[in-house]
Amino acid sequence: MLVNEKVAIEHGLKADEYKKICELLKRTPNLTELGIFSAMWNEHCSYKSSRLHLKKLPTSGKKVIQGPGENAGVIDIEDGDAIVFKIESHNHPSFIEPYQGAATGVGGIMRDVFTMGARPIANLNSIHFGSPQHKKTKNLLRGVVHGIGGYGNCMGVPTIAGQTSFDSSYNGNILVNAMTLGLVKKNKIFYSKAAGLDKPVIYVGSKTGRDGIHGASMASASFDEKIEEKKPTVQVGDPFTEKLLLEACLELMAGDSIIAIQDMGAAGLTSSSIEMASKGNLGIEINLNKVPCRETRMSPYEIMLSESQERMLIVLENGKEEMAKKIFDKWNLDFAVIGKTTNTKNIELYFDNEKVANIPVNILVENSPMYDRKWKKAKLPKKNKIKKETYSKLKIKDVLKKILSNPNVCSKEWIWQQYDHTVMGDTIQKPGGNSGVVRVHGTNKAVAATVDSSAVYCWAHPITGGKQVVAESWRNLISVGATPLAITNCLNFGSPENEENMGEFVECVQGIGEASKYLNFPVVSGNVSFYNQTKEIGIKPTPSIGGVGLIKDYKKMVTMDFKETNNIVLIIGKTEGHIDQSLFARTILDEKNGPPPEVNLFNEKNNGESLLNLIEKDFIKSAHDVSLGGIITAISKMSIKGNKGIKLSKSKNLMNELDYLFAEDQGRYVIEVKQENLKDVVKILDKNSVHHEELGFITEKDLIINEKTKVTIDELKSYNTNWLTNFMST
Amino acid sequence: MKSSVITFPGSNCDRDMDVALKKFGFKNKMVWHDDNELPKSDLVVLPGGFSYGDYLRCGSMASKSKIMQSVINFAKSGGLVMGICNGFQILVETGLVPGVLLRNKYLEFICKNVFIKVDNKENFYFKNLDKDIFEFHIAHNEGNYFCTKDQLKEIEDNNQIAIYYCNDKGQIEDQFNPNGSIKNIAGIFNKEKNVLGMMPHPERMIDQSLSGEDGSLFFKNLINNIK
């Protein structure tokens, strides 16, 4: 096929990008070369709209061993141990083919982690669906959950936490973000930087097929009514092969024969080979006839652009090929020497004894387009004036029932019971808590992880929303007694070519940056997913934040279930009665406008660190951060989990009771302390100037809100646990 | 006491089982599926996981792997062989224990704690345990035990049902059956009671910080019985 501008545009390139390619090459590319450019220069791989803004994120810190730019971020957890972690999106494929889309998302992120030499020890996910009434929602949810479970369960890696939300803005574009944590020795981390000349380039893992061709390009475009036709761009996962690949790679990594290793993810062999060469400032030569193929007569173009899963590219020390091959033979995996490193600084491809591509690596990487897209600043919305008479008709119990059974608050047990969350025998806090927690095998340490997002807040005011998500992640880690260390982010947005969507992106990133800098909670890895958009309608801005923290002595871990009758329940942090954008305002009062709750970073840090201090002193029997649904929702969940009631005292606060109970002010935690420790706890909080109020005391049964309102634990449970199961079984 | 845990391609509870056995005093060896000979063992364990991806019927590929011939001979000579989860599926595929394991009734993977009742204590695995009801953990997609009427009669006549799904009071009722197993069966023996296949994972219940300690009781008792 002759290459011209029209063909380039069909490959998703813009006319001026094509012109630039011809100028840089000083000739017209052939079709294989054009395919390589389109794979490297699409939004998904090149970050061309986001790079400029991502640079502003804080990415370093005392605990950071590796920030963004590698397969995943790495943080120090002391004693020579490190945690490798990252979150990644698989949104577009999951909408087209939910099972395989979600499954390969999980497979891809695990590969990113074990490529660096780490054994995956925990998976998390953040999944977002359209309105429950939308005709596709149920099938998409079922498919995604089966896909995540199908892959993670087979790999034998526990899925320890997650987040699920429903919002009509995801009707045409669901979100599937998968996160993995891996454990590695600090001195055994592997990177993707090639080094040395004439080193063998090895292909291992599954064979290359025709699946997933142009997957990355598909994920860099908006959807339209013909999206179902894109099914062939979705890869097909094989978790069994990945399990073998994991074991084989770790076995090879125990020695010292690997110079560089890179998994073949988006844009397959193209991006993996180019990335290794680029980082090593080398050239790479590949004989495509040597690539193990699943199908016959695959063209160089197809081989280079296939996104078949479960494959790795390795640059090996000379003379180690036989030893390495033995390991992959043992695990029944393909092993092929397909090329070598060169000093040409070009990527040179051969097929049937002909040179089929020759491109300078720096053109593909350093000269890739970068855009300073136009964006619109968002104004802080004016506060709502909600008429007080609307309140007088409302009964607390009715409101509580609606909030606890709201799809975004209700128990997600139907989902996480389908994920193996206990394999590996180290899960000490399972899904449904503040964070998932796994022990560092064979030590007293444990690692806590959480994934959060607040699309509604981000939509109402992106800077505040961005800050809030980071703060919530921080709170979820602190609530289990973990010291927050670092985050990974998955930035899901609409089209960057739309000024408003781009503005949401820029300002959410700004908010994330401010909070992570202030809280000393750096961003070590992440991924951007734009074009979550169908025709002109984009999703609500949804940055997902994956936070990781360390518990030095796992016996000090805190859970959220109420523990003991007569213990005192306090709230840390001030309740101002912020109702705008709360679940109460949006679903009960049907009021969708107004600003999100303000995030005061000083208070976040102070309140959080004070709570950690109390946990360290063993004063805290249970803790839960206050988020969606306010104080009463937090308390209800603690009651349900602990099978204990609480008698609330009359608040000294003068505000309306509904405002007090359902407000979503930030920086707050509900904590349980023993009577005899109350004095000491209050003393420490006062000393640190942390606002606190006594909420009540724990009882054998029933949530007693005031003289007129009593809710039994069974009622609470039925409000909270039935919605999702009923929804999925009808 | 010496034990061996077989690792098949796709096994993923092999390490967990190794940890559990060692914790309670076994000298455990990991044995590769492609080996010919079992090391000298007092107990052989087929662990959980997805052997060969379970792409064919669960356990069927693994049941034909090289090491299994030695395992079968070991079992036939009276050696103790225990299959957990995928290991149970492999055991039914070898025919060492009767029946089959179908897909869960509600067609979904289930991971949760369940209660089980020990029915028969006249065997190496459960004798001397001082309670009948245990809290164990299950994590499977194909644990729905099924067999023919004739087989069931034979199993019952020979006291081959090892454990049942029940509630915390030991009531064996349909509502406490997580996967649709016939008669709430969670585990069965061969006729001689030296081979045990069960869906629950005792190795995930060996620590109060995890899901509970009932697995510890099981392993402690097991090693004492073998001694």
Taking only the tens place, the pLDDT of each residue in A672-721 is 999 999 999 999 999 999 999 999 999 999 999 998 899 999 999 999 99
Strand partners, A646: A698, A703
The DSSP code for B38 is P
Q: Is B122 a catalytic residue?
A: no
Nearest CA in chain A to B23: A442
Please answer yes or no on whether B111 and A421 come within 8 Å at the CB atom: yes
- The interface predicted TM-score of the complex, written ipTM, equals 0.96
pLDDT at residue B8 tops 90:
yes
Q: Is B206 on the interface with A (CB under 8 A)?
A: yes
Q: List all residues of chain A from 305 to 334 with a beta carbon under 8 Å from chain B.
A: 330-332
Q: Is A134 a catalytic residue?
A: no
10 Å Cβ neighbour count for A226?
A: 7
Q: Is B85 a catalytic residue?
A: yes
Predicted confidence (pLDDT) per residue in B70-121, tens digit = 999 999 999 999 999 999 999 999 999 999 999 999 899 999 999 999 988 9
Predicted confidence (pLDDT) per residue in B195-206, tens digit = 999 999 999 999
Q: Report the interhelical angle of A137-155 vs A239-253 (nearest 10°).
A: 40
Options B85, B142, B147, B166, the catalytic residue: B85
Entry field: residues in chain B: 227
Predicted confidence (pLDDT) per residue in A114-160, tens digit = 999 999 999 999 999 999 999 999 999 999 999 999 999 999 999 99
Task: Report d(CA A53, CA A427) in Å as an integer.
Answer: 37
Closest partner CB to B108 (pick from A241, A418, A555): A418
Q: Which CATH fold would you assign to the domain B2-226? A: Rossmann fold (3.40.50)
Confidence of residue A216 (pLDDT cuts 50, 70, 90): low
Contacts of A554 in chain B (CB under 8 A): 209
Q: Among positive and negative, which fits the CA dihedral A460, A463, A468, A473?
A: positive
Q: Is B52 on the interface with A (CB under 8 A)?
A: yes
Which residues, 6 or more positions from B225, have their beta carbon under 8 angstroms from its beta carbon? B124, B125, B127, B128
Residues above pLDDT 90, as percent of chain A: 91
Task: Report d(CA A571, CA A669) in Å as an integer.
Answer: 6
Closest partner CB to B139 (pick from A155, A240, A422): A422
Q: List all residues of chain A from 543 to 562 with a beta carbon under 8 Å from chain B.
A: 554-555
Quote the pLDDT of residue A387.
74
Q: Are A621 and A563 in contact (CB under 8 A)?
A: yes
Task: Report d(CA A393, CA A584) in Å as an integer.
Answer: 14
In the sheet with B195-198, reading across from the earlier edge strand, the strands are B27-32, B2-7, B43-46, B80-84, B195-198, B185-189, B161-166, B110-118, B133-140
Task: Report d(CA B114, CA A174) in Å as an integer.
Answer: 34
Q: Is B13 on the interface with A (CB under 8 A)?
A: yes
Among A215-219, A389-393, A469-473, where is mean pLDDT lowest?
A: A215-219
Please answer yes or no on whether A419 and B111 come within 8 Å at the CB atom: yes
Look at the block and give the residue holding tokens 């699309």. Answer: A455
pLDDT at residue A369 tops 80:
yes
pLDDT at residue B212 tops 90:
no
Contacts of B112 in chain A (CB under 8 A): 417
Among A140-149, A362-371, A610-619, B161-170, where is mean pLDDT lowest?
A: A362-371
Please answer yes or no on whether A153 and B204 come within 8 Å at the CB atom: no
> In the predicted model, what is the mean pLDDT of chain B?
96
Q: Which of A146, A153, A333, A418 to mutate to test the interface with B (most CBs of B within 10 A)?
A: A153
Query: In Å, how far are A288, A417, B172 from B164, measured between CA atoms?
Result: 57, 21, 7
User: How close does chain A come to B20, measured CA to CA in Å?
Assistant: 9
The encoded tokens of residue B208 equal: 């109060």
Quote the pLDDT of residue A226.
76
Query: In Å, how far are A41, A213, A218, A351, A354 from A303, measured between CA atoms?
Result: 18, 9, 17, 11, 15
The encoded tokens of residue B9 equal: 């391609």
The DSSP code for B11 is B
Q: Where are the domains of chain B?
A: 2-226
Nearest CA in chain A to B20: A425
CA of residue A645 relative to chain centroid, distance? 35
10 Å Cβ neighbour count for A188?
A: 15
Please give the sequence-ordered ranges of beta strands (E in DSSP) within A530-613, or none if there are none: 533-534, 537-538, 542-551, 568-572
pLDDT at residue A234 tops 90:
no
pLDDT at residue A217 tops 90:
no
What's this model's pTM, rounded to 2 decimal places? 0.96
Q: In terms of Cα–Cα distance, which of A470, A528, A525 is closest to A496?
A: A528
Predicted confidence (pLDDT) per residue in A652-679, tens digit = 777 889 999 999 999 999 999 999 999 9
Predicted confidence (pLDDT) per residue in B118-152, tens digit = 988 999 999 999 999 999 999 999 999 999 999 99
Contacts of A243 in chain B (CB under 8 A): 9-10, 12, 50
Contacts of B34 in chain A (CB under 8 A): 330
Q: In terms of Cα–Cα distance, which of A137, A186, A674, A116 is closest to A440?
A: A186
DSSP string over A186-241? GGG-------SSSPEEEEEESPB-STTTTHHHHTTS-B-TTGGGGGGGS----HHH
> In the predicted model, what is the mean pLDDT of chain A?
95
Task: Report d(CA B183, CA B201) in Å as an integer.
Answer: 20
Q: Report the interhelical angle of A239-253 vs A321-330 (nearest 10°).
A: 140
Please answer yes or no on whether A418 and B109 come within 8 Å at the CB atom: yes
Confidence of residue A228 (pLDDT cuts 50, 70, 90): confident
Contacts of B12 in chain A (CB under 8 A): 154-156, 243, 423
Q: List all residues of chain A from 401 to 430 with a beta carbon under 8 Å from chain B.
A: 416-428
Closest partner CB to A554 (pick from B16, B48, B209): B209
Q: Is B168 on the interface with A (CB under 8 A)?
A: no
Please answer yes or no on whether A425 and B210 come within 8 Å at the CB atom: yes
pLDDT at residue A47 tops 70:
yes
User: How close does chain A come to B170, measured CA to CA in Å?
Assistant: 22
Nearest CA in chain A to B210: A428
Which residues, 6 or more positions from B156, have their beta carbon under 8 angstroms from its beta carbon? none
Task: Report d(CA B178, CA A98) in Å as an integer.
Answer: 26
Residues above pLDDT 70, as percent of chain A: 99
Phi-psi region of A348 (alpha: psi -120 to 50; beta: other; left: phi over 0): beta
Mean pLDDT, residues A182-194 taken together? 96
Quote the pLDDT of residue A152.
97
Quote the pLDDT of residue A270.
95
Q: List all residues of chain B from 28 to 47 with a beta carbon under 8 Å from chain A.
A: 34
Q: Are A233 and A44 in contact (CB under 8 A)?
A: no
